[in-house]
């Protein structure tokens, strides 16, 4: 006899009710999680009078992008009233080379530690891995001295070097764990055919590495772009990254407090990492798990 209590989709009323309740609960959690972003965005689109007279959760009666233009071009940060624009491009000039160089060095090092094994390779990897657990504050003084010796203190290239050095343990860890699961027979066959260290890397290892490259780029980009401590410690004035400029802008007390400008500046600062995760976030977990199981 057919089950009359079952729905056409093969689910009982109790299962459908449980699924509906689960989706409702997840929707509530998602709304609660995204609420701060909605408040920041709506506040950035209001003028000051509406902010003073309205409520925190109210939507703007009229969309106004003046705060965005002011935050980008005119906001006073310290003694400079150039807005976030020059600091934003400082962060771009710092992040892109630091991400690319640290990713390439991590790939080369991970490849050497796994496919061209040598005496002490495991010890070297353990020492590199130890760098992942060193707090930022511990390296401030020796890093500042090193930048001074190299004559690149208070410069964007100096910040690039800092982030390459500090990010290298993480990139080596990612690539080393990924390359361990690539069959050694590929390397042996290429070696028999006369391929050398770098040819094997470019022709075999890199074409097999897109999943972990995506993971590394997302990780490094997020860490470097959002960094505040190194930017505040090693740069001053016009050489600072956008995160430090945002902090200085928000803490400026001269004149009338422009909450809409602060919110717009925060969104401008966060926009690159938001775009990266929206466009490539689904590949992050996929890349982390790629190569985790042999065969």
Q: What is the pLDDT of residues 136-153, one digit of tens each?
A: 888 899 999 999 999 999
pLDDT at 80 over 80: no
Selected residue with higher pLDDT from 280 and 127: 127
Whole-number pLDDT of residue 4: 46
Q: What percent of the chain has pLDDT over 70?
A: 92
What is the location of CATH 1.10.3720.10 in the chain? 85-289
pLDDT at 160 over 60: yes
71 within 8 A of 261, measured Cβ to Cβ: yes
Q: Exposed (0-12), middle (13-18) or buried (19+): which is 249, by Cβ within 10 Å?
A: buried
Q: Exposed (0-12), middle (13-18) or buried (19+): which is 258, by Cβ within 10 Å?
A: buried
Retrieve residue 107's tokens: 């790939």
Q: What is the pLDDT of residues 22-32, one digit of tens each?
A: 899 999 999 88
Q: Alpha-carbon Rg of the chain, whole angstroms?
A: 25
Question: Quick one: pLDDT band at residue 50, thresholds 50, 70, 90?
Answer: confident
168 within 8 A of 100, measured Cβ to Cβ: no
Give per-residue burial for 205-234: e unless 16+ CB within 10 Å, then b. Answer: beeebebbbbbbbbbbbbbbbbbeebbebb
Q: For domain 85-289, say whether CATH 1.10.3720.10 is its number.
A: yes
Which phi and psi angles does 206 have, rounded to 5°? Answer: -60, -45
Q: What percent of the chain has pLDDT over 90?
A: 43
Cα–Cα distances in angstroms (integers) from residue 178 to residues 108, 117, 267, in the given order: 12, 15, 35
Which phi and psi angles does 238 have, rounded to 5°? Answer: -70, -10
pLDDT at 222 over 90: yes
Task: Find the helix or strand (DSSP H, E) in which 194 lies.
Answer: none
Q: What is the mean pLDDT of residues 104-118?
A: 90
Q: Chain-wide mean pLDDT for the chain?
A: 86
Looking from the CA of 9 toward its CB, the CA atoms found within 13 Å total 7
pLDDT at 105 over 50: yes
Retrieve residue 247's tokens: 């902090």
115 within 8 A of 198, measured Cβ to Cβ: no
269 Cβ contact partners less than 8 Å away, ≥ 6 residues apart = 84, 88, 242, 243, 246
Q: What is the pLDDT of residues 54-64, one digit of tens each?
A: 777 788 888 88
pLDDT at 199 over 70: yes
Selected residue with higher pLDDT from 79 and 18: 18
First to last CA, the chain: 46
- C-alpha 143 chain-centroid distance: 22
7 within 8 A of 13, measured Cβ to Cβ: yes
Q: What is the pLDDT of residues 242-258, one digit of tens each?
A: 999 999 988 875 667 78
Question: Quick one: pLDDT band at residue 12, thresholds 50, 70, 90?
Answer: confident
183 — alpha (psi -120 to 50), left (phi > 0) or beta? beta
Report the distance separating Cα 68 and Cα 75, nearest Å. Answer: 10
pLDDT at 2 over 50: no
Whole-number pLDDT of residue 229: 93
Whole-number pLDDT of residue 290: 63
pLDDT at 289 over 80: no
- pTM for this entry: 0.86
List the beta bridge partners of residue 199: none
């Amino acid at each position: 006899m057919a089950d009359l209590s079952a729905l056409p989709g093969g689910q009982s009323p109790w299962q459908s009710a449980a699924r509906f309740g689960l989706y409702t609960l997840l929707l509530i959690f998602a709304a609660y999680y995204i609420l701060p972003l909605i408040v920041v965005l709506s506040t950035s689109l209001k003028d000051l009078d509406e902010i003073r007279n309205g409520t925190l959760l109210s939507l703007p009666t009229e969309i106004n992008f003046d705060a965005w233009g002011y935050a980008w071009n005119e906001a006073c940060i310290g003694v400079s009233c150039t807005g976030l624009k020059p600091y934003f491009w400082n962060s771009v000039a710092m992040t892109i080379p630091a991400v690319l160089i640290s990713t390439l060095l991590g790939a080369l090092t991970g490849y050497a530690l796994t496919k061209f094994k040598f005496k002490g390779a495991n010890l070297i990897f353990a020492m590199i891995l130890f760098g992942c657990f060193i707090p930022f504050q511990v390296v401030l003084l020796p890093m500042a001295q090193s930048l001074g010796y190299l004559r690149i203190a208070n410069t964007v290239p100096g910040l690039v070097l800092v982030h390459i050095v500090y990010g290298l343990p993480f990139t080596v860890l990612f690539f080393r764990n990924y390359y361990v699961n690539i069959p050694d027979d590929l390397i042996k066959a290429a070696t028999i055919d006369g391929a050398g260290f770098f040819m094997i890397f470019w022709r075999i290892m890199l074409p097999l590495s897109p999943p972990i490259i995506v993971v590394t780029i997302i990780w490094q980009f997020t860490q470097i772009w959002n960094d505040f401590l190194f930017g505040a410690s090693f740069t001053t004035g016009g050489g600072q990254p956008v995160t430090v400029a945002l902090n200085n802008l928000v803490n400026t007390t001269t004149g009338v407090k422009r909450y809409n400008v602060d919110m717009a500046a925060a969104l401008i600062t966060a926009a690159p990492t938001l775009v990266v995760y929206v466009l490539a976030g689904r590949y992050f977990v996929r890349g982390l798990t790629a190569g985790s199981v042999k065969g």
